Amino acid sequence: MNVSARLRGRIVRAALIAVLIASALLSLGVGHYAMPLPEVFSVLWGTATGTLDARGQLSQSLLFQVRLPRIVLAMLVGAALSASGASYQGILKNPLVAPDILGVSNGASLGAVIAIFFGLGSIATQGLAFAFGLLTVFLVVVASKSIGRGNGTIIVMILCGVVMSSLFSAFVSLLTYLADSDTQLPEITYWIMGSFARTSSPQSIAALFLIFCAGSIPLLCVRWRINALSFGDEEASSMGVNVKRVRGIIVCCATLLTSASVSYCGVVGWVGLIIPHMVRLLSGPDYQSLLPNAMIGGAAFMVLVDICARACPTALPLSVVTAIIGAPLFLWVLFKGRKDWL
Structural domains in the chain? 3-336 (1.10.3470.10)
Q: Give residues with Cβ within 8 angstroms of 101, minimum separation 6.
A: 88, 92, 158, 161
pLDDT digits (tens, 9 = 90+) for 4-25: 777 888 899 999 999 999 999 9
DSSP string, 102-136: TSHHHHHHHHHHHHHHTT--HHHHHHHHHHHHHHH
56 burial class (0-12, 13-18, 19+ CB within 10 angstroms)?
middle
Which pLDDT does position 75 carry in this prediction? Answer: 95
Q: What is the DSSP string of 168-217?
A: HHHHHHHHHHHS-TTTHHHHHHHHHT--STTS-SHHHHHHHHHHHHHHHH
Q: Please report, in tens digits, the pLDDT of each residue of the chain (342 residues total).
A: 555 777 888 899 999 999 999 999 999 888 777 788 888 888 888 877 877 777 777 787 888 888 888 999 999 999 999 999 999 888 877 777 777 777 888 888 898 899 889 888 777 887 888 888 888 888 887 888 788 665 556 678 778 888 888 899 899 999 999 988 888 888 888 778 888 876 667 888 888 899 999 999 999 998 888 888 877 777 778 888 888 888 888 888 988 898 888 888 888 888 988 899 889 888 888 898 999 999 999 999 999 999 988 887 777 888 888 888 888 877 877 776 554 444
Predicted local distance difference test score (pLDDT) of residue 342: 44
Cβ atoms of 100 and 324 within 8 Å: the answer is no
**Spatial distance between the Cα atoms of 150 and 145, rounded to a whole number of angstroms:** 7
Distance CA 339, CA 331 (A): 15
pLDDT of 190 reads: 79
Residue 289 phi/psi, 5° resolution? Answer: -110, -30
Helix (H/G/I), strand (E/B), else coil: 227: helix
Per residue in 220-245, pLDDT (tens digit) is: 998 888 888 877 777 778 888 888 88
Whole-angstrom distance, CA of residue 111 vs CA of residue 129: 4
Q: Which pLDDT value is given to residue 338?
A: 53
Q: Quote the crossing angle between the two packed helices 153-178 and 104-117, to the nearest 10°.
A: 20
Q: How far apart are CA 329 and CA 340, in angstroms?
A: 20
